[in-house]
Amino acid sequence: MAADVQSRVVARVITGEISLPHAKEQMRWMEQRIAASPMRSTQCLTDDTFLQELEALADYRPQDAVIAAAPPEPEAFEPCEEMKDSPEWKKTMKISKSSSMELSDVGKKLLMNAFKDTTPKEAYDLWAETYDNDSFGETGFGFDSPNICASITAGYLSNMSPVSGEKLIRLLDVGCGTGMLTRLVRERLANGMNGMVDVKGFDLSEKMLEIARRDEGLLSDVVCHSLSDTPWPYADASFDVAMCNGVLIYIDDNFGGVMDEFARVLRPGGYAVLMIREDNYDNWGEHMDRLEKERAWRLMECTEPRDNFLNAANDEGEAIVWYRMYSFQRL
């Protein structure tokens, strides 16, 4: 029966007779069914009743389907006076949506590509002391993706228990920088849950890591290491979740090797939460797909495109960077 329902739904989707609900709606529905299952497990997802309900959920015409929304129209904005008078700023076509955006000198130079001849390590070493305020402060960029990444990651962690023989749930912060992403995750976890999550991280900027080390108890261990230098300094299947935000754009080679590392360090059943910029997808898409074909992991969620810097835009009021968040479960 289960196979019949699955085949019928797939056939109707392929022919265009029905459209599946948005991924977020499907995930929400599955979570509700799992929670209602006596065993609170994914076993219920193969039950006949569950699959018939899935078919009913999908049973509407394509014209009624929820289509992934196009990027929203940018809100009208007026650049602040300081930016209006800056020829360098105008030349780079990057201005502020918010008159209250005030960045550090280093943040302004980075936004205007004034450090274009420096390496990512050199740029982030210079930016370390003001990075958090420029990125997350009330007058900063309005950095969106870390909050989305943290929310997805915290959701997975909150539904986990330590594996047999372990006392803690293990999280890897890939490109952890100042530790802000881990901090956002911990803010979203219940107090009791925080004590059960051990976080390790690595980054190529020692200056950024110095900031992370100041917050005692945030990460249990941080290592200065480049993502592109594989293998990473961790054992196979040593983490329950690996998260990576705003870092993969700086990798210019070894794309397949880097993506393989996410799968390698995750235990079966663990999750990878990855932020991929739309203008960088071509470097990573084939490798994410390859790992699915190899049954190393399966795609759990892909968000709609989102504006990554909510307070910054180009001269035409358009977002500077669009991104999607991808999450995979290790098989």
Interval 81-98 mean pLDDT? 47
Lowest mean pLDDT, pick from 166-170, 284-288, 294-298, 311-315: 311-315
Percent of the chain with pLDDT over 70: 68
Q: What is the pLDDT of residue 315?
A: 73
Among 41-55, 57-71, 229-243, the minimum mean pLDDT is found in: 57-71
Q: Highest-confidence range of 102-111, 114-123, 223-232, by mean pLDDT?
A: 223-232
The residues, any chain, with a CB within 8 Å of residue 144's CB and separated by 6 or more, are 306, 307, 308, 309, 310
Name the packing angle between helices 180-188 and 145-158 (round to 10°): 50
Q: Which of 67-81, 85-99, 116-130, 201-215 has the lowest mean pLDDT?
A: 67-81
pLDDT score, position 212: 97
String of DSSP letters for 257-293: HHHHHHHHHEEEEEEEEEEEEGGGHHHHHHHHHHHHH
Average pLDDT over residues 61-87: 43
Residue 30 corresponds to which amino acid?
M
- Confidence category of residue 3, pLDDT binned at 50, 70, 90: low
The two most distant CA atoms of the chain are separated, in Å, by 69
User: Average of pLDDT values for 101-129?
Assistant: 80
Residue 330 pLDDT > 90, yes or no? yes
Q: Is 250 a residue whose pLDDT tops 60?
A: yes
Judging by DSSP bridges, how do beta strands 169-174 and 239-244 pair with one another? Answer: parallel
Q: What is the 3-state secondary structure (H, E, C) of 61-102?
A: CHHHCCCCCCCCCCCCCCCCHHHHCCHHHHHCCCEECCCCCC
Assign 71 a pLDDT band (cuts: 50, 70, 90).
Answer: very low
- Measure Cα distances from 138 to 177, 187, 211 in Å: 20, 18, 20
Write out pLDDT tens, residues 136-161. Answer: 887 788 899 999 999 999 999 999 99
